[in-house]
Amino acid sequence: MSESLVLSSQSGAVRTLTLNRPAALNSFTTGLHGQLMEALDAAADDAQVRCLVLTGASRGFCAGQDLADPAVAPDPVPGAAPKDLGDVIERHYRPLVLRLRSMPVPVVAAVNGVAAGAGANLALACDLVLAARSASFIQAFAKIGLVPDTAGTWLLPRLVGRAQALGLALLGDKLPAADAERIGLIWRCVDDAVLQDEAQALAQRLAAMPVKALVATRRALDAAQSMDLEQALTEEVRLQRKLGASHDYLEGVAAFMAKRPPQFTDR
């Protein structure tokens, strides 16, 4: 039987996926990529799942690409042909980000420890990022002669602006979680002891909300980045027309009028 590189658990409508290569700080191998994609697809296809939590086993969240993986490690033989890293990115990291951003449910990253390289941007590609106070974010790419990938070039300036994005990407320094919260890179930093409980509570809260509208909100905010005001307003018309005809909208208004808690079911 193959090793479980991604652990999956379910609590109510919340699915939690745990990256599980702790000896190498949950860094990515081809095997981990394959299992994570499978787990994300399974969560997307399961109507019982209304929110996803992504976290890491043991002391790290994810140290990015496993640099010891023979598929990517430079061949030490002088004159050896370079590995095609573009191929690795195209086959694994690009689809991973697109999968995350098209999940039909909100995704919470519970960053339990260091998140470096592609591991940092994996977390930042999630909808809400909650990090333990001892966690940190490192754009490690420049230190090994690469550019930020896993959507780092797109995410960083949008999250924190060009000045901070360049500072993080060019220097590759370790950014403690509290500073990541301060500059707006992540949603919240919490004490280590409560991280997983807080992440589960946040996920349960999101799961009880109108998930379809939450996902439409994520998409609208992303899409508006490349729209002018008029286009964004037009898109809001389209989305509100669609959501206004949904069960969840009827239920939300009915529950408000009846002063009772809503029961949202759309996904």
Interface positions with ligand T3D (CB under 6 A): 24-25, 27, 63-68, 72, 85, 88, 114, 116-118, 138, 140-141, 144, 146, 149
Complex with ligand T3D: residue 94 or 218, whichever CB lies closer: 94
> Angle at the Cα of 207 (from 118 to 9), degrees rounded to 5?
60
Give dist(CA 15, CA 54) in Å, integer: 9
Q: For residue 189, what is the DSSP state?
A: E
Give dist(CA 40, CA 100) in Å, integer: 8
Three-state DSSP string of 107-163: EEEEECCEEECHHHHHHHCCCEEEEECCCEEECHHHHHCCCCCCCHHHHHHHHHHHH
Q: Work out how close the CB of 82 gets to ligand T3D at its nearest, in angstroms, rounded to a whole number.
A: 11
Give dist(CA 106, CA 218) in Å, integer: 8
Q: Work out how close the CB of 83 gets to ligand T3D at its nearest, in angstroms, rounded to a whole number.
A: 7
Q: Work out how close the CB of 64 gets to ligand T3D at its nearest, in angstroms, rounded to a whole number.
A: 2
Q: Work out how close the CB of 9 gets to ligand T3D at its nearest, in angstroms, rounded to a whole number.
A: 24
Complex with ligand T3D: residue 85 or 166, whichever CB lies closer: 85
Complex with ligand T3D: residue 115 or 199, whichever CB lies closer: 115
Complex with ligand T3D: residue 61 or 249, whichever CB lies closer: 61
